[in-house]
C-alpha cells in the first residue's frame, strides 16, 4: 500500500556510511529530514540524483534538514560512491530491502528500489512525496519547495 501525506513514517534502523546505525525513532527525535530511495550506486540516473542533492545540500543544511540516501547497496559500495562524488550526506544500506518495502519504494518483481523521495516532518509524518524514476532533478526541487513553504516541518 502506498504511503500518503500525513501518514506516520515507518521506523527504520539502517547502517550508514558514518559507521553508525541510524534509527529514526532514536536518532532523529523531533527532527525533520529527507529520505530518498534510489536503485543503485554508480548508475547514471542515481549518480545524477546524488550529485543534485550534493549541489543543493547547502539549501537543506540552511533549513536544518538532513538528507539520507537509501539503496540496497552495501556500505563498502556506498562509501566508494560517497567518496567518488564528494557527497556531504549519509548513505544508508538496506540490503534486505525491508525498509524500501515499508516505504513503498521497492519494485516488486525485481526487488530493486524505486526512485522516490520523502520529506518527513519533525513528528515523523510524511510531509511530502516525489516519485519519478527518470526525473532526478525534480525530487530536489519538489522537496526544497515544500520545505520553504512549510511552517510545520520544524
User: Tell me, what's the pLDDT at 138?
Assistant: 59
Would you state the pLDDT for residue 150?
61
User: Which domains does the chain carry?
Assistant: 28-149 (3.40.30.10)
Residue 75, pLDDT score: 98
What whole-number distance in Å separates Cα of residue 111 and Cα of residue 154?
34
pLDDT of residue 83: 98
36 secondary structure, DSSP code: E
CA distances (Å), 52 to each of 41, 62, 126, 141, in order?
14, 16, 22, 10
pLDDT at 109: 85
Mean pLDDT of residues grouped by 10 in the chain (154 residues)?
88 97 96 95 93 92 94 98 98 97 91 92 92 62 67 54
Whether 115 and 142 have beta carbons less than 8 Å apart is answered as no
Could you give the residue numbers annotated as active site? 46
Name which of 13, 10, 5, 39 is nearest 107 in CA terms.
Answer: 39
- The residues near 16 (Cβ < 8 Å, ≥ 6 apart) are 22, 68, 75, 90, 91, 92, 93
What would you report as the CA-atom Rg of the chain, rounded to the nearest whole angstrom? 14
pTM here? 0.90
Amino acid at each position: 500500500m502506498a504511503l500518503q501525506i500525513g501518514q506516520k513514517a515507518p521506523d527504520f534502523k539502517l547502517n550508514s556510511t558514518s559507521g553508525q546505525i541510524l534509527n529514526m525513532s532514536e536518532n532523529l527525535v523531533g527532527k525533520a529530514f529527507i529520505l530518498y530511495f534510489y536503485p543503485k550506486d554508480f548508475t547514471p540516473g542515481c549518480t545524477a540524483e546524488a550529485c543534485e542533492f550534493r549541489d543543493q545540500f547547502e539549501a537543506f543544511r540552511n533549513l536544518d534538514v538532513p538528507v539520507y540516501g537509501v539503496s540496497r547497496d552495501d556500505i563498502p559500495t556506498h562509501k566508494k560512491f560517497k567518496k567518488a562524488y564528494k557527497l556531504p550526506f549519509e548513505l544508508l544500506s538496506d540490503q534486505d530491502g525491508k525498509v524500501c518495502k515499508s516505504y513503498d519504494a521497492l519494485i516488486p518483481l525485481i526487488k530493486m528500489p524505486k526512485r522516490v523521495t520523502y520529506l518527513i516532518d519533525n513528528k515523523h509524518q510524511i510531509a511530502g512525496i516525489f516519485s519519478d524514476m527518470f526525473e532526478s532533478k525534480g525530487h530536489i526541487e519538489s522537496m526544497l519547495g515544500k520545505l520553504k513553504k512549510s511552517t510545520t516541518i520544524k
